[in-house]
Every structure is written in C-alpha cells, then in structure tokens.
Amino acid sequence: MTLAIKTQPDQNAADKDWWRGAVIYQIYPRSFQDSNGDGIGDLLGIVQRMPYIASLGVDAIWISPFFTSPMKDFGYDVSNYCDVDPMFGTLADFDALIQTAHSLGVKVMIDLVLSHSSDQHPWFIESRASRDNDKSDWYVWADAKPDGTPPNNWLSIFGGSAWHWDARRCQYYLHNFLTSQPDLNLHNPDVQNALLDVERFWLDRGVDGFRLDTINFYFADRLLRDNPPLAPEKRNDTIAPAVNPYNHQEHLYSKNQPENLTFLHRFRAVMEEYPAIAAVGEVGDAQHGLELLGQYTRGDDFVQMCYAFEFLSKEPLTAARIAEVFDQLDSVAADGWACWAFSNHDVMRHVTRWDLSPAAQKLFTTMLMCLRGSVCIYQGEELGLPEAELEFEDLQDPYGIEFWPEFKGRDGCRTPMVWEPSNQNAGFSTGAPWLPVPSAHASLSVAAQEADPGALLHHYRKAISLRHSHAALTKGSQTHVQAQGDVVILTREHEGEHLFCAFNLSDDPARLHLPPGHWLTIGAELNSAAANADGQVELGPWQPCLAIRRS
C-alpha cells in the first residue's frame, strides 16, 4: 500500500482556511476497527488504521460520538461530554489518536451533540428532581394543558409526541428524538456556558474542529407555539421516513429559531481563540435546509461550513437535480459554504440508494471532488459497500425497530468495515461483532481492493489527489452549474487557474464542446475524455471531461 501522507504544518503557521475544500473522512467508531475482541470498534482501533486513512489523502477525520453514554442512540445520547465511554477506550487512547493522526498530517474533528443529552446525564437527573433546583431550567419543561395532554403538537423525529411526562416534576419535557434524549434549554445562558466549556475541553485536548449534530435544533420557541400543518405536496422524506407523521408539520417553532445565530456566534468566538479550528454543522430540515446553511455559514461570525440533505436524499441525483440544487444554493446561500456528502451514518448507502453501477460509482466520486464546497466521505464508501440487508432480530437502531418493515432504520449503513478475509468478520474483530458483517461485503475488503489496480478504492485516492492538486477545486469559485441533457457542466477558477468539468450521468454517450480558448485535458487517470482539435468532446457512458485552460 502506498501512503499519500501529508506533512503536519506548524500549528502557529497553520492555514486557518484548511477546511475550505477539505476532504473529511467520517468514522463511525463502533464499526471501524475493534482492537480488543469485544465486537465493538474503539479508539485504539482507529489508531491502528490511521495509516490507511492517511493513504486516502484526506485532510481530516470526523469521529461520531465516543463520549460516555447509555447508548440508547449509540452515543448520540451523552451522559458525560468530557470523557470517553469505556467501550471505546480512555482519554489516554484519545490522546494517542490525536498524536497519531497529527503525525500523519490528518486533522481530527469530533461530533458534538449539543441540542440534547441523555436522560442519565447528571444535569438532567438534577433538573428533573424538582422545579426549583439549580438546574431546573436547564431542559425544556412545560406544564400539561388543562386536559393533561402535552403542551403543544410538536412531534419527535423518532415517532410520536415530542413531549414526555415526568412524574417527578409532574411536567412534560421536550425530546426531539428518543424519550431518553431530553432537549437542553439553550435560552438559559448557564446552559450555553456549560456547552462552551465542553468545546474548550476538547480544543485544549488538541482537536482541530467539530461536526455539530442537529445544529438547527438548539433552540425551541419560547412560547411553545403549535407548528402549522404542512401541505401534502410539500412533504418529503429527506429527514424522516414517509411513514412518520413528523412530515405532516412545518417545524416553524420546534427548531430553526433566530436565537441560534447568537449562540453560534459565541461558539465561533471560542474556536477563534485557537489556531486553525473549523466546524461543520448538520442542518436537519426538509424545507429550508439550504437557506439555513446560508445563514449559519455566512461571513466569519458563525460556523465555517454546513451540510444539508439534498445529496443525501433518495431523490435520484440527475444532472437536472444537481443544477437545481446549485441554483437554490446560489439564491439563498451565495455567501455560505456547503459541505457535500452522498453517504453517512444516517442514510442508506448511496450505492444502493441510487442503484449505481461500478462505472457510475467512479463518475459520482470524480464529480463530488470537483464541486465547490467541502466534502465528507463515509467509511466504506471508498470500497463501494452497498446497504446491508439485516433481519429484524439483528436490528439495533431504535428508529428502525419503531418503523419496521416500511423503514428499516440506519443499521444497514452501520455494519462493520471490511478489511481483509482473515476471519468471518473481515478483519474487523476477533469476537462477535455488534452488527453482522454481510457476506457480500467480504469481496470488497480493503485488502482485496489494494491488490486490484482498477478497484474503486484506488479511484477515490486518485480523485482526492486531483482535488488537492488544483486550488481551483478546493478554494475556487464556481460558475452557474448547467444540465445539458444528462451532462453536468461547470467551471472552477482560482487565482488565474481555470478548470472545465463535465460529467455524463448516463448509460448513453453524449457530445459537447469546450468553451472558447486553449484547453489541456487532465485527469486521464480518472478516465477523462479528451477534446478533438475543434474542441468537441465525445463522452462515453459515465465519463467525465476535465480540462485546464492553457495561458
């Protein structure tokens, strides 16, 4: 295996804009590498596999939550923000991870869950004990209506009412997710200060940034007003499955509140106390995702980048759809910075979601690395792993258990990483894994693809390398994205470097002309088509054309 390892810059001279155009590799730690044979991935497993991650050429890793947790939502229910859950290791293990990553030129971003905690967090245990203790107002509490029903009509993403009755206080508390995930009350400045202390704790430990879970859920309407209904024609299953009545409301008051900007300004101010720190926010909204992305990333006051779910949805990613998304982005978020992803731990893997052939997988990867914005790739997508088909008895995800069989949850994209055919668990663990390793994944293992020069894994490395070789692809501007039939066309420019990019998203050949000027084909290693003497390009099925303007 050839390592494409970058040299870690001096922190005092670090590029504060490193995140702009960066490629971030998401690690779901439970499923990445188990180092002690208990069937659950851990921090030392990540340390073990850091040379592989560095070999991809990525700029950073994003590690999904590893904090102390009862694991009702597998770490997204935090009971101690400043410690490592024993199943993942120790703070010393995390320090080793930071040191190893930095020695290989890879930055480390961690997943902060600030909108809610576990109901086993000491803050909530104290808050629910009475209505007059020091933390009584640290969560969103409300009295019942006169008839005993919840305070309003808000719904949980995980099903049912977003309110749960607590017999200790004889009040309801808000939970946008599981009942065991009570929402913090960020209207209380003490809560904000406590969360900023968490931010500082990890920055002092050496992290380079954060992924901010459900960034638009931090505040709820102070008056707890009912959400209005959403017209059927406006409903979609981008955020919640179609069988979930959550889609029947416009979530005008339960999230997306204007006070969020003030808190994000405070969060950014703490990041600015440290060199070269960045954050990417997850915007969970089916109607206003790009608009919120624009609000949260404009200027230098909030977070550096956000991702919405436009390219994570089931909607086929046609040329027309891509052009439509960038038109919307230009309209509502022209001054913002997007982070694009096709797969992550919350959605069906895109190979299955869009039924992509091997050629289509490579073309989509090349295109992703050419779009303006930053990029997240999810562990295993560089291997082309399809969504795993699991039996009901194998499910762990409460979301899938609740809505089975119409919605099978998120376990299918969370099965263990496949490293080698050394045992029935593909090198992930010597013990029984927490989720089964699909037999269909074994042939796609890292070891198998390392030995095949034509494998998708090598294509990812080449596409990432191309992105890093051209500042126009990382930090450059982007012209209006066009859809010419099934072909996506755009140009990128930065400090005099002009790149032309076209992508044929079809099984049929296509023809196009390069813009006026002298162009040199690049990306031959990515199957880039060359133009003839007249500037005409014949694109084969699922083929790109990449060219640089010659002076």
Catalytic residue of the set 77, 166, 199, 213? 213
CB 518 within 8 A of CB 509: no
Label each residue of 61-123 as H, E or C: EEECCCEECCCCCCCCCCCEEEEECCCCCCHHHHHHHHHHHHHCCCEEEEEECCCECCCCCHH
Give the Cα separation of 255 and 162 in Å (integer): 12
Give the Cα separation of 187 and 205 in Å (integer): 28
Q: What is the pLDDT of residue 13?
A: 56
123 closest CA partner among 194, 64, 72, 193: 194
**Residues recorded for the chain:** 551
**8 has a pLDDT exceeding 80:** no
Q: Is 394 a catalytic residue?
A: no
Task: Name the burial class of residue 272, with classes exposed (0-12), middle (13-18) and buried (19+) by CB atoms within 10 angstroms of its CB.
Answer: exposed
Give the model confidence (pLDDT) of 150-172 as tens digits: 999 999 999 999 999 999 999 99
Q: What is the pLDDT of residue 3?
A: 44
Distance from CA of residue 136 to its chain's centroid? 33
Catalytic residue of the set 197, 273, 327, 508? 273
pLDDT band at 550 (very low <50, low <70, confident <90, very high): confident
Domains assigned to the chain: 11-115+189-224+253-396+438-468 (3.20.20.80), 477-549 (2.60.40.1180)
143 CB-side CA count, 13 A: 4
CB 111 within 8 A of CB 64: yes
First to last CA, the chain: 37
Q: Is 273 a catalytic residue?
A: yes
Average pLDDT over residues 272-278: 97
CB 411 within 8 A of CB 388: yes
Alpha helices in 3-131 (DSSP H): 43-55, 91-103, 122-127
DSSP code of residue 127: H
Mean pLDDT, the chain, rounded, equals 95
Give the Cα separation of 368 and 542 in Å (integer): 14
pLDDT greater at residue 259 or residue 10: 259
Query: Global pTM?
Result: 0.96
Give the model confidence (pLDDT) of 333-356 as tens digits: 999 999 999 999 999 999 999 999
Q: Please report, to the nearest 10 degrees, the dihedral formed by the alpha carbons of residues 363, 366, 367, 369 taken in order.
A: 160
The dihedral region occupied by 463, where left means phi > 0, alpha psi between -120 and 50, and beta the remainder, is alpha
**101 has a pLDDT exceeding 60:** yes
Give the model confidence (pLDDT) of 359-418 as tens digits: 999 999 999 999 999 999 999 999 999 999 999 999 999 899 999 999 999 999 999 999
532's tokens = 């003839």
Give the model confidence (pLDDT) of 425-442 as tens digits: 999 999 999 999 998 999
Q: What is the pLDDT of residue 421?
A: 86
User: Angle at the Cα of 36 (from 400 to 207), degrees rounded to 5?
Assistant: 75
Give the Cα separation of 42 and 49 in Å (integer): 11
